[in-house]
Amino acid sequence: MKAARAQHLLSCVSSLHCRNQHWKKSTGPRFLRYTSTFRHTTYQGGIYLAGFLKFPGTTKERPWVFALLIIPMAVLSNGVISGGLSFLLSKQGVDMARSASIISLLNLPQTIYFLWSPVTDFWIRRRTWLMLAATAAAIGLVIVFQIRSLASPTAVSLLFLSACFAQLVVASCGGIMGSLRSEAVRRRASTFYQGGSLAFGAAGIYVVATLAERMNLGHLGWVIAAMIALPSLVALAAPKQDVLTAETAGEVFKRIGREFRGTFFCWKALPYTLVVLFPMGSGAAIGLLPGLATDYHVSGQQVAWMNGLAGSALTALGALAANLIPIRVRASVGYILVCLINELTLAVLWLGSLRPSTYFIGATLYLFTIGTCYAMFTAVVLEFLGDSGKSGSARYSIINSMGNVPVVYMIAVDGIGYGRWGTRGLPAIDAVVGFLGGSLLLAYFLRQKDPAPAAIAPAASVG
């Protein structure tokens, strides 16, 4: 269900801090705040202090690159595990119950990857971790596809390990995106990140389903491994951050503690936590809509198209459409507004007549707007995160993993709606619960007069 964050003038900032104590900083939901007796102005994406000190602008931060950096995870997790694996298992005669249990297990790393993701904050740059993790995942996949049965304990164990490596790609992307200073660049990076994840995940499903009929499993493994490993080389074009080596271990852990307290253990973290955990825009209905199709007299082939390749394209386009939301609109507010629109699209299925046109219109609107929700969710995660600092990947992973919670409980809620009120009950309960939750949070955020800053001042990070 659910991604992925320029070199800082660290020495100059440290010098100003040590000599004059002009800078005061804090990480957290409001990003990194700096107060100084120096005049600062924004010019061409950079920040000038007293007209002399310029931080590098955003022109070299390349937000589009995140659409490609997330490919290794998109292909493996979305394309293979959540998409093509069930097809491959069925070709090997594995029954659906066994396939479902395997796929459920292999999706677990997407929820618990915050347990090992902090490793990407240490020792080497985050972009190096990204390339190593993608390569390790690709190697594991090659070995798996040489095994006779994909349902064997050895194959499932190696796939699980590959999925764990793939999640390090997500953590690395999050840490790199968190180091981007401009809110405009962060917002664009979020849209490209989610758009790339959705588009290349669909491409992975298509490749698996198409080539599985034309080549043996071993050769297919090499093709998919190339799709995972080669795109990770784009990380060489990712924004570059400094690696700090002057700090002692004690100083590093003290700084990490300050960053965690600034992000999670403050009152301003509470509304952001609620945004992440509330039901609106969860996308829980995505996997449930095909089950309603027959009630709207939609054929199986039409469902395969609407909720397959065409649906993935709609969701990816919706993610890219988030670029149209003005930067002056805070990510949290923009996200909630888009979620409310998304919940309203379910009213088409709830109140419309049970015929194919109703399903096509409702599903099209829902899938497109949920893509926008996903992109804005990543922007909210970055707003919650603040600056990456030393622990950006770990904090990003924790926040991002929390976003899976509403998906889980809303699937259960939608199931209750269907069980009690039938076909219309599922979209109805999703729309009502999501709209009410989103409205409450929107009322809170609209009362906040001090918007998030438009630029992120430099801080030490590892990219």
Q: Are residues 218 and 280 in the same domain?
A: no
Last residue of a domain, one of 187, 205, 237: 237
| 421 within some domain | yes
pLDDT for residue 24? 36
Q: How many domains does the chain have?
A: 3
DSSP code of 38? Answer: S
Q: Are residues 311 and 270 in the same domain?
A: yes
Q: Say which amino acid occupies 180.
A: L
Q: Are residues 438 and 349 in the same domain?
A: yes
> Which of 196, 230, 224, 231 lies closest to 210 in space, CA to CA?
224
pLDDT for residue 241? 63
Name the helix (H) or strand (E) containing 72. Answer: helix 71-73
Q: Are residues 212 and 69 in the same domain?
A: yes
DSSP code of 231? Answer: G
Q: Are residues 132 and 273 in the same domain?
A: no
| 455 within some domain | no
| 1 within some domain | no
Q: Are residues 190 and 42 in the same domain?
A: no
pLDDT for residue 290? 86
Note whether 279 and 435 are within 8 A (CB): no
Running along the chain, 463 residues long, what does each successive block of 10 average in pLDDT?
37 35 38 32 31 41 92 94 87 86 91 92 91 97 94 95 96 92 91 94 87 90 96 88 62 85 90 95 89 88 80 93 93 96 96 94 96 96 90 93 92 92 94 96 84 43 50
| 330 within some domain | yes
| 242 within some domain | no
Map residue 461 onto helix, strand or coil. Answer: coil
Q: Are residues 50 and 105 in the same domain?
A: no
> Which of 391, 385, 260, 291 lies closest to 331 in space, CA to CA?
385
| 82 within some domain | yes
Q: Are residues 68 and 49 in the same domain?
A: no
| 317 within some domain | yes
Q: Are residues 413 and 396 in the same domain?
A: yes
Last residue of a domain, one of 237, 258, 277: 237
Q: Are residues 68 and 50 in the same domain?
A: no
Q: Are residues 104 and 196 in the same domain?
A: yes
Q: Are residues 160 and 292 in the same domain?
A: no
For residues 429 and 408, give the distance between their C-alpha atoms in angstroms, rounded to a whole number.
15
Map residue 104 onto helix, strand or coil. Answer: helix
pLDDT for residue 304? 78
pTM given for the model: 0.80
| 42 within some domain | yes
Note whether 120 and 126 are within 8 A (CB): yes
pLDDT for residue 390? 87
CATH label of the domain that carries residue 359: 1.20.1250.20
Taking the alpha carbons at both ends of the chain, their separation in whole angstroms is: 26
Domain that holds residue 173: 63-237
